[in-house]
Chain A
Amino acid sequence: MFNIRRGAALTLLAGSVVLGSCSAAVTIPTVVCVGEATTYLDWLNGDFKPDTAGTIADPGATTGDLLATVMSRGYITVSTDPDYAPQSSVKPDGTYEGFDIDVATEIATRLGVDVHWETPGWDAITAAGWQGRWDMSVGSMTITTPRKSILDFTQPYYYNPAFLAASTRSKVTKTSDLKFTLPSGATATTLPTDANCAEAIKAGRTEFDLWISSGPTIDAAIAAGTPMVKVGAPVFTEDLSVAFDKSGPDDAALLFKVDQIIGAMHTDGTLTELSKKWYDGADLTVAPAS
């Protein structure tokens, strides 16, 4: 009898401590969720080093390199992360759709080959060392100095503004509502991909209230019913390009060819058309004036 009473008292005490700490956990307004291996994370860590593709030289006639392999094979393998609408998402029949998908398909068509798809995680794509599992990444990758040491980039095919988004329950609607300065005052937390952050907020998780991602991705999340709003002006704009693995087979010729194709797609309006199709009539393919 005595032991049961003591046990019950201890349980009540422990339970009230747990419950008390639960209700005391208010949302911490300095935590920002970002996708792993994204430039948004770099920016929050003060590590964002945007770069340009530089001049891409014509290597002339080559043999036995990546271009030769792709042409003789008749298809090019492109990596995509189908968790990134409206850039890339999967359809019920297992094929993919999205802005990045259309751009990659067009590039392959102009090269004269078919396109095959691979779906590794984003962190595997940005880490290079693709080991020939796929040849090209058309995945809205930002050109940064660290990435340039392991990947080769073409000229940008579009430009994406990165925005801060805040959940409606945090009551943050303007940058001045934040109790800290971005990016130095923020604490970053990561989930495997950007979409997971919106997913968490929509499900009602309380670890974070803020999210940084690309404008169109945030718009898509809000349109799907995620309770959040965009806050303020873009925090930065990124140059997004097609990437090739430096450690793979010699890609100089393929890089040059694809770069030329992208230039042509800019000039003849294909990229603008695709942008308007996927981004609600907005043309994100012109470099922002800055």
Chain B
Amino acid sequence: MSADLPEKLESKIEETFDVKETLESASEETEKALEIKYEQCKEALSLLYESSNETVRKSFNDSIDKVVAETDGLTREQVMAWVEIVEVNEEKLGGSSQAEWVRNQLKKEDSDDKMGNLLEKKILTKADVIQILNSDEAKVNWNKESNTPENSARYTLALQAGLRLMGQDTGTVDGLFGENTKAAVIAFQEAEEGLNVDGDPGPLTIGRMLEILKEEKKEISSTDEVKPEFVEKPEKIVIKKMDVIQPNIDLKRDIDKTLPTRINTPLENEGTIDEIKNNSFYKELEKQNINGLDMNNITNIKQKENKGGIEDGETLIKVKLKGEDNRFFKKGEENGAQWVETNRRGSEGTDETQKESETENLEEMMPRSRDITMLMNKNGGGDIKNGKTIKVKVDDKYYYRVYKISDTEVRVGGNLYTKTGRLSPIGITWKKAKK
């Protein structure tokens, strides 16, 4: 028997705890929490897809191929539809006389369009689809004999992309209204009440599609089984930002940290300037323009308890400054009250008592070690930030204090955690270190 078996077993047992906790946690998640997670994943994936770093893009494409191959009934198109991107197969457009017609039609239609040439972009976002389906092109007449649009190939692309975003199988997204597209229209009409099931995407059908596409929370899924012909990895993708959901700035920064295209220099204190500028107290102080207070020097602002001579109803804040002593400001509760500097320090006493107080809090909030599967910032996730003591989220309910020892080690309560390097949509995960 291998000498390190006990350690391996311990590790396996820990993994089962992780799995169990993940399952328990998933079952307890509210629909809202799931939606938030879904949006985070969606944004994270679209950021990888649009990354300017070729290695990151390749990693994304390789990983999506791998997961698709390992997951029964999953296609790349399906995943891309969740991310609200539909890839257009340019190669297929040039292969026949019909395709040549589409190509020429697209060049003509897109020449003056703000969205640029679809052949150049190679992808359609949900916003693109809505824009095109909402335009006058929706009044296009269909030639039922040839099953092709008489007026617009671009509109057909948007129609196909829209159907795919709603989980219908259109075969390829190639701008040609063929049997697959018609079948997808019929499937959509059958699934929706009050529509004629004739495969003709008239105003009522398009109107219903637009209603659904514009609903943010409508659950969408994609087709599978029939593999679209352009399932091969596109060699060159012109990246386009998603218009529908603006990338969350914090998330973008965190993803950049996770798959770095640049190295961020940590600040010496708690939080970054950008974060502090979002602090409501910071905004108020900035607005008031207090003489002698260098806003650019502020590294953190915290509200303190009203002890030590601060009246009830007043608000007391502690302003941490880089290279200067902390300063304290108080404000009354009446409308229009201004911040006034005070030498009262609220609940904060000497350094010694402060330390004791923090230790007490730490004890009170100390979690069980196996409760912690992921360390996360209080304000939106990502890798935990540099600083002596920060609060992190370890599950959906509680915040705990974490001491960051180094870039790869943090301490929570009495337990040491090390960085695993595993990526999640909210950052790198941390695991309890073995004793």
| A and B associate in one complex | no
